[in-house]
């Protein structure tokens, strides 16, 4: 089942190119990421298909991938029978597939040597220690200065995306970071691109962006726009 089923327009082969974005559906804020992808697509004026990734045979012909947060060990165990992550890693290496990985997704990239960085789990503390903070972003991402606040749709199971940071205003230079049992980079041997004060909380290597926070829980879609731009070859 596609998260966008019943909401996207029927694909017209003669129309604009459709980007196929894979969304790992094993755990984490999957529906929030889907909503953020739809928002980013609207801001860029592109057409997307969100592909629910649960099995290894679903990873071919993708233009980009989102690895949501969750609990990284549980995610690895859940994917083992269908070899989803093993196939994803191969696809990333073979085709330099653009990837947006958040929280536990960032842990998986680091642990599988797809990002040149070391990372520690839950390094900011337990659930009660979760926090929000403005972040400095040092990336070339298209600007979007008009924020349209819309009602968030429910999926076929009745789930409605959660929004933690509700700032209904144009994007500022700072990004509204949401940290929930967040991991922490202990060493970085690639490009640091997002900072909490002077500490790197987002790193970039090739077309792989690993973030220790949850951009999908905000109304600022700039990192999802980055993914779609890279998926479209920009």
Residue 43: active-site member: no
How far apart are alpha carbons 164 and 16 in whole angstroms? 33
Reading the block at residue 202, the tokens are: 């987002």
Residue 63: name the closest of 45, 43, 80, 47 by CA.
47
Residue 110: active-site member: no
Residue 224: active-site member: no
- Point out the catalytic residue in the list 49, 91, 214, 221: 214
Residue 67: name the closest of 227, 193, 230 by CA.
227
- Point out the catalytic residue in the list 49, 71, 91, 216: 216
Is residue 14 helix, strand or coil?
Answer: coil
- Point out the catalytic residue in the list 43, 91, 103, 221: 103
How far apart are alpha carbons 94 and 91 in whole angstroms? 5
If residue 89 lies in a helix (H) or strand (E), which one and from where to where?
Answer: helix 84-95
Any idea which residues carry the catalytic annotation? 103, 214, 216
């Amino acid at each position: 089942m596609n998260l966008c089923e019943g909401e996207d327009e029927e694909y017209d082969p003669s129309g604009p190119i459709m980007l196929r974005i894979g969304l790992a559906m094993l755990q984490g804020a999957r529906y929030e990421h889907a909503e953020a992808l739809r928002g980013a697509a609207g801001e860029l004026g592109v057409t997307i298909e969100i592909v629910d990734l649960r099995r290894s045979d679903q990873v071919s012909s993708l233009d980009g991938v989102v690895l949501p947060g969750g609990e990284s060990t549980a995610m690895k165990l859940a994917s083992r029978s269908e070899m989803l992550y093993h196939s994803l890693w191969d696809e990333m290496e073979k085709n330099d597939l653009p990837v947006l990985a958040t929280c536990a997704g960032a842990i998986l990239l680091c642990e599988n040597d797809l990002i040149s960085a070391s990372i520690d789990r839950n390094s900011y503390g337990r659930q009660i220690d979760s926090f929000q903070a403005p972040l400095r972003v040092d990336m070339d991402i298209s600007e979007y200065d008009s924020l349209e606040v819309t009602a968030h749709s429910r999926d076929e199971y009745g789930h409605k995306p959660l929004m933690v940071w509700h700032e209904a205003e144009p994007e500022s230079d700072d990004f509204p970071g949401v940290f929930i049992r967040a991991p922490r980079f202990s060493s970085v041997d690639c490009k640091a691109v997002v900072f909490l004060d002077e500490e790197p909380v987002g790193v970039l290597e090739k077309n792989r962006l690993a973030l220790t926070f949850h951009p999908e829980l905000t109304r600022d879609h700039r990192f999802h726009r980055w993914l779609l731009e890279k998926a479209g070859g920009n």
